[in-house]
Each structure stands twice: as C-alpha cells, then as structure tokens.
Chain A
Amino acid sequence: MSAESFEGVSRDALEAMSVEQRDALPFGVVGFGPDTTVQIYNATEARMSGLDPFTVMGVPFFDAVAQCMNNFMVAQRFEDEPDIDAIIPYVLTLRMRPTKVRLRLLAADGATCRFILIER
C-alpha cells in the first residue's frame, strides 16, 4: 500500500504536500478547518465536481459545497470524533449525478486541518 494511495496516505503527509503534489493525486482531496471552511481543494476534486478551486476556498464546506455530506454519516462525525481514519462507501452528486464513491475521513486530535478523500 503506497504512502500516496487513497488508503495509505496519512493526514500529516497530505498536509505537508505541496499544492502540485496534491493536485497530482488520482483521488479528490478536500481539507477544511474546524469551522468547516475549505483550505485545500485539489485539482482532481475540482475536475470531478466541476467547481473552480478558487471559488470553493474559504466557504463552509458542508453548507455551500458538500451538503450531501451534511448529516450524521459524515459532518456529524467530524463534530463528535477528534480522531478519525475511516473509509465509507458513499453516494455523491458530482455535477448533479448520483455517483458511487468511497470516502476516507481523516482527523487528528490537535491538528486543525481535517481531510476528506474522494475516490470514484
């Protein structure tokens, strides 16, 4: 399992990567702060969602972009659990089409940036 794979990459490694390195990953990467505002939105995710990263940065992720995850299955877990590393099957609405994906939720107690990785 590679240190840069969907399943293998660590939260710390994602945070330490350059923008270019994250853009080159084959899966979507969204990083957001404790207030859910988007800090990182990689090129892969932008291609899948059809959104320009510049318009997504700084907006509250679960309210403005990913309402489909604003429920107890995803958003609530980041509220309740300081440490998460979980992979869950999910259905997103990328470009308004129901799309089966796998999500990896990553949060660490003490680290301000949380991640959601999206694999189509």
Chain B
Amino acid sequence: MPSELIKTLSHSKKEIRDEMNRILSSNLFSRSSVLSNFLKFVVDETLEGRTEELKEYTIAVNALGKSADFNPQVDAIVRIHAGRLRRLLNEYYTGPGKTDLIKIEVVKGTYVPVFRTHLINKSNGITAEKNKTIQYSRSKLTLAVLPFRNLCPENEFQFFVDGFGEELTRLFSLSQDVSVVAHHSTRKYAVNPDDIRVIGTELGVHYMISGSVKRTAKEIRVNVELVETMNGIQIWSQTYNNLLNIDNLINIQDQIIENVCSLLGGYYGFIVRKSAVAHRKNPPSMVSFDAALWNYYFHMNFSQESYLKTRQALEEALRHDPNYAQGLAMLAELTLSAYSLGYPTAENPVNEGYKLAKKAIRIDPECQHAYQEYAWANIYLKRREEALSAMDRCLAINPASVSTMGTIGFGMACAGEYKRAHVLLTQSLNLNPHCPWWFYLGFFLVHYNNKQYKKALEYANKIETLDVFLDPLTKAAAMAQLGMTDEARADVKKLTKNFPQIADNLKTSLSTFLLDNSLVDEIVKGFNRIGASCLMVFLSLIE
C-alpha cells in the first residue's frame, strides 16, 4: 500500500490559498520568484473561475512580466517554466510539504492546476503539521524598514548606511496612519536577505522600505524603494545624489529621511493614497486585460474595425469593474480618437471623454494615461492652458516613459507648442524608434509650421495608415507647398474619394484637434491649391 493516497475532492478557496501560501513561503519556492509568480497566477485565476484564460500568452504577460508583444509561437519560456514548476511542486510534496493536507498539481498538457486531498498514511507515524502563515493586520497599514545595503567599497560609511533603517523607523513610528515594525526585528534580514514576499509574510506587513548606498569618488548615492509585500512589486523609488563630504553625512541623511517620510508618510502620503486606490480597485480581471490588448491593437492601426472591437471590450471591462481607472482613461482616449477620426461615437464625444478622464483621475490620481486624455479633452475644448498643464502633470508622473514622451510631444504640436513638441518627439524616437504613425504627424506639424516643407513631406511619407484622412492630406499639403502639383493629385483624389465629408469640411476637421488656426489655414491652403488644379484638369478634359 502506498504511503500516501491521493484523491480528488473539492476544497474551499481559502484552504487552497493557504496551501499556496505555504508553498510560496517554503525555501524551495522563495528562491524562485519566477516560479512563485507562475504558481500564484495559475492558482488565483483558477480560483476565480478564469481557467479558459490560462494560456501561454496570459501567463507570460501577467505572471512572468513579459511585454504585450510576447509571442508563444517563437518563445518557449512558459512551457519550460511550466516543466520546472511541475518538478518543483513534486519536490515540495516529497519534502517540506509531505504532510500538507491539500496537494496542488500542474498536470502535463494544461496550465490549469488541480487541487487534491493529500491523504497521509498515519501508520507511518507522520503527523500533519501545518506551517503557520502570519495573517496581515487589516486594522492599520503596516510597514517595515529593512536595513539598507552598503554597496560602498570595503563597507565604508557603515554608520551612515545603518542610520537609514533606524531613523526611518523612528520617524514612521510617529505616524498615526502607519504602524512600523521595530528595526530590531528587521535587522536580521541584513545578513539573511530573502524574497521580499517571504519577509513580508514573516513580519506581517503591507509595505516594506529598502534601499542601498553607494559612492563614487565625488558623490554618494542613496536609493530608496517602497515594495508592496503581497506581490513583491516595487511601487515607488527615488535616487538621492549628494556631493561626498564626510563632515556633512549626517545632514545629508537627515534631508533624505525627511524627504522620504514626507513623500511616503502622512495622510496624503504615497502609502495611504496607494492603499486607498488599491482598496477601491477590484482585482485585475481577464476582461480588463483583453480590453487593454484591444486598445493596444487599435493604436497600431487606428482602423474603424479595431476601434469598434476595442470599444466593446472596454465597455465590457468597465461593466465588470466601474472603478478600473486605466480602462476609463482608455475609453476616454477611444471616444476622443473616434471623434477626431470621424468614427461613430458618443453623442457628445468631447464632453464624454472629458468626464471619463476626470473620473479616472479621481479614482487614481497617479494614472498617467488619465492625465494624457484629460489633456486631449481640453485640446478639443480649445482650453489650451488646461491642456498644457495636464500634459506637464502627465510627464511629471513618469518622465522616463518613452511612449508618453512621444504622445505628449504630439499633443504639444497640436496645442501649438512646437519647440517643446520637437524636443519630446525627438527624445522619444531616439530612445525607441518604433512608434505609432501620429508621432510622425507631430513632426509634420512642427516642420510644416516652420515652413520646412521638405522635412514635413519626409514625415508625411512615414504616415502610412490606410484608414485615416491625415495620410493623404499631409502628403498633398506638403507637396503643394513644394510645387509638386502632379505628384500630389493622387493623394487629393484619395482624400476626396475615401473621406468626402472631411474633404468638404477640411478646416473644421483639422480645427477639432489643432489649436493653431494659422497652421490649419496653411494646411488647407496647400491642399486647396492642388484641389483647384485637379478641377482645372477635369474641366479641360470635358471641354
């Protein structure tokens, strides 16, 4: 008779989650964040009844941190990790988990885990002993400050490095909004660094501050990070560079600590705000994920077909979670894009987009995408100053985001801020040459405004999108200014044939998103010049 009998039974979600947490807290799993994330994702999705979504792609993107363009046809990483996960689970159940009452398995051929009762043959004298999992206190937000790492040569300035843990703990202990674990209890992690989620479980804290100190010949650099312990995700970081002056180190430390505490602590600090937003949010769902993917796809081509599908997916996601801030921002963007592209949309699309973006900001004041759309709504409403202010806020939230840089660059061009537009668009393209067509439109606007028509045409030629009137319009207008009348006729024809309503109301259409009237007049003038010439040719032919 085998020493253990396994049979399939149903278990409560809580029992299964407890078992998963036991596995994740084990030494075997805490060594591998990849396999821990993999297991957590497949178990969570299964418990939420979303087994149909458990495909290589969703696992790669959601659990392994792969980018949205991950292609399971050419990248076998999920399959390989799945094999590792199966083997590690086997090892767990023959070692530290041999007395666990539930067995989680990832069977070959599927990514959907199976939960079985793991019966122990008591005649072997084995007694089930459950690992204890510390429960998070929900009565107050809790924080621990880990000892900072000393990355200076030969561990010099150790007193300075140690001071961060002690002083940050002391200052946070004065806060009424956050409880902080005594520094004495966290000191052991300086010599025994572990997965942040494991430490978080041991200490029972929601957030953890960690950091490091390093130096060059002239500077001392302190990095401070805030991590959410439930998922191990870093949610905030800051780097402080100071001139290295041994006599001034304590002052430097005081300034850094004061800055960290003022940014993170307090009623309006990052920790409280983040927790309030997280509390309001439903767990991210596959519906939201699908909607986001559709939205990315729409931005690749801007076609009417992908627009309609994206709209449907986003509306579905928001029905599922009305407080999905990113989804609200995407829907605002979609509504406004449809308005400028002439697609069927809400009755009053600009106001609708404005309201959606505003709601998204209210739900999540750190939602960069929401500020971006708030800026666009203001452009459509001809509120230039408000638009520029929202664009500045958007950039400030994450100045390193290359795509935002380009998008705001385009927005600045539409608002008539050509110099800043050019700088942002150039920076964005230098950092990532793969960009949507409207980045080129931004360059076109800048150069056309500067009467650099050759350059403008160069960028107009890069706008290759079939479904948008701006493609033939920009080419025709630039060619007209360069006197290339014959070459421009094909684009004029394309515009008048494919977009007759827009061609008849060109100025109105352009004025919806361009705030600089003189630029609009110049573009229309260029286009009309060719249009008139086409008409002359046509008249001469019928004569």
Physical interaction between A and B: no
